Amino acid sequence: MRTALIAPRLVRLVLSGSQLGAFEDEAGRHQAVVSTGFDDVVLLFFPRLGSERIALPQVSADGGFERPLDTEVIFREYTVRRLDATGLVVDVVLHDAGVASDWVRRAEPGTSIGVVGPRVSRALPSIPRILAIGDSTALPALSRLGESLPVEVEGDIVVIDGGPGLEIPLFAPTGVNVVRAHESVDACSVLSGLGLDATRTYAWLAGEAGLVTSLRSFLLSERGFDKDHVQFTGYWRN
């Protein structure tokens, strides 16, 4: 693992390992992992403070995962910012204190971490307009979205960021406005200024659970969005 500071409060982890490529073990041959969706997710497994041992989940009979009964499994979810020959890249927002945030602050190059995934997410429907809104934890997904949208798509990407230390450039097709709002600003009032066309727009919302819930309610009740056109995920809870 390598790290790079891409903004004062945003650390990039570049993870490498033989199991990211095709490999063989006693269970047979495994294909190289891929990530096709802008909001694909990996589970990162951390050691307990003071220990280097990482407890990983076990594969269950139905092919899913289950926690080992006798150990504490510590994991957090992160967006795949990129997965290519350079490795698996995730961008971690540093907040005041937390297992992942603290581990990233301490991590030295070469430190090991457990990874499960990526879990490939639902693709966006083919739409003329996008409205994507997220807080700082959604910056990796919003960045990847902006880079991967077809050039003809129009709309808005709204970043509710946590203030200083998180400003990074965000690229998007020319018809997509990138709007930045401080977290202290009422996010619904930011949306009010956008002139949304509910019939032609697909909305994607991610970030703090309360924020996401209130944005979704606003789009459904105040702007007439169909609930099938609003995809929403709580990334953390305040």
Ligand X SMILES: Cc1cc2nc3c(=O)[nH]c(=O)nc-3n(C[C@H](O)[C@H](O)[C@H](O)COP(=O)(O)OP(=O)(O)OC[C@H]3O[C@@H](n4cnc5c(N)ncnc54)[C@H](O)[C@@H]3O)c2cc1C
Please report, as ranges, the residues that interact with ligand X according to CB under 6 A.
Answer: 41, 76-79, 90-93, 95, 98-101, 137, 140, 233, 235-238
CB 203 within 8 A of CB 180: no
Q: How far is the CB of 195 from ligand X (least distance, A)?
A: 29
Q: Quote the least distance from Cβ 88 to ligand X, whole Å.
A: 12
Helices (H) and strands (E) in the chain, counts: 4, 16
Query: Which residue, 18 or 238, is less far from ligand X as judged by CB?
Result: 238
Tell me whether residue 137 or residue 201 sits nearer to ligand X (CB atom).
137
At residue 55, φ and ψ (nearest 5 deg) are -85, 125
Residue facing ligand X at closest CB distance: 98
In angstroms, what is the minimal distance from the CB of 18 to ligand X?
24
Considering the complex, state which of residue 225 and residue 235 has its C-beta at the smaller distance from ligand X. 235
CB 52 within 8 A of CB 112: yes
- The whole-angstrom separation of Cα 229 and Cα 201 is 7
Tell me how far, at minimum, the Cβ of 206 lies from ligand X, in Å: 7
Whose tokens are 């305040």? That residue is 238
Cβ–Cβ under 8 Å, residues 39 and 124? no
Indicate the residue among 18 and 51 with the shorter CB distance to ligand X.
Answer: 51
